[in-house]
Amino acid sequence: MILWQGVESINAFWLSRKQKYAILCEDNVSCNAVSKIFSRDDVETIVGSGWKFVTTRIDEFSETCAKKNKLMLGFIDRDYWHFRDEFNLLANKKLVYTDLRDIEIDLLESKAFIDFLQEKKPALSAKADDIRNSIYNNLYAIGKIRVYNHIYQKEWDFPDVIDYIEKNTFNYSKWETRFRQINKIKTIDYTKFKEWEEAKIFNPKEIIRGHDAVMILYELLGIQYVKPKTKNAIVITIEDCLSLCITKDFISQFSWARLINSLLK
């Protein structure tokens, strides 16, 4: 796995490599997962600088690579593009995206999660379904707010979930109060959201943010979350551990893995 944060010379860097295929991922967790699944001599994974970097640069990279008989694919979290796809990502064959909202949710739904539990908390490995359902139930309400925020471009700020977990329980009421305070949301505006919310039913796995889910998971597993003290600090997170537990059988479970596999001819 190659860690890459720059923009100017990435094409020169990639074209100098011996590998035929590159997969440009938006973050380290995705790159870990892709590296584990497609561990081949002719495939290289590269960490970009977030989804905006991947989505705005992939066309340029792909065109340059094609001239050298190389292929570069972009891999991003699905997020909420299927609700408001202004970038036309779903039709862009150069971009591959997760089946569910985030790579972390895909990982929670995979055997990687079972393997992770067996390694870290063996006594809980038989309760994987209960743990997943608890995470989804805790975060479903926030997921709907995030969808509304995306569709109507509210640009709301969201308090960190980890700050509202008390004794194995996520205190949504306190979180919601703080959310409304920091965004100065008037009652009439929130009423509009509540009316919209009541008419909508979603699959929790498609709207829950992966990082929020992992924050709840820390508490459910009794693992203390350590926030990095500096921006560049390296902390091995549950996200990292989940992605490193992944195996090649993931290809049969998720469409994005099958798609990437089919493109690596």
Model confidence pLDDT, tens digit, residues 12-63:
777 788 889 989 999 989 999 999 999 999 998 988 878 888 888 888 888 8
Query: CA separation (Å) from 215 to 30, 31, 218, 253?
Result: 18, 20, 5, 25
Query: Considering the chain, what percentage of its residues have pLDDT values greater than 70?
Result: 89
Nearest by Cα to 77 from 200, 204, 211: 211
Q: Which amino acid is at 225?
A: Y
Residue 207 · residue 146 · CB < 8 Å: yes
Q: Which amino acid is at 172?
A: Y
Residue 73 · residue 94 · CB < 8 Å: yes
CA separation for the pair 229, 35 (Å, rounded)? 28
> Residue 165: pLDDT above 80?
yes
Q: Look at the chain and report how many structural domains it folds into.
A: 1
Domain that holds residue 94: 2-263
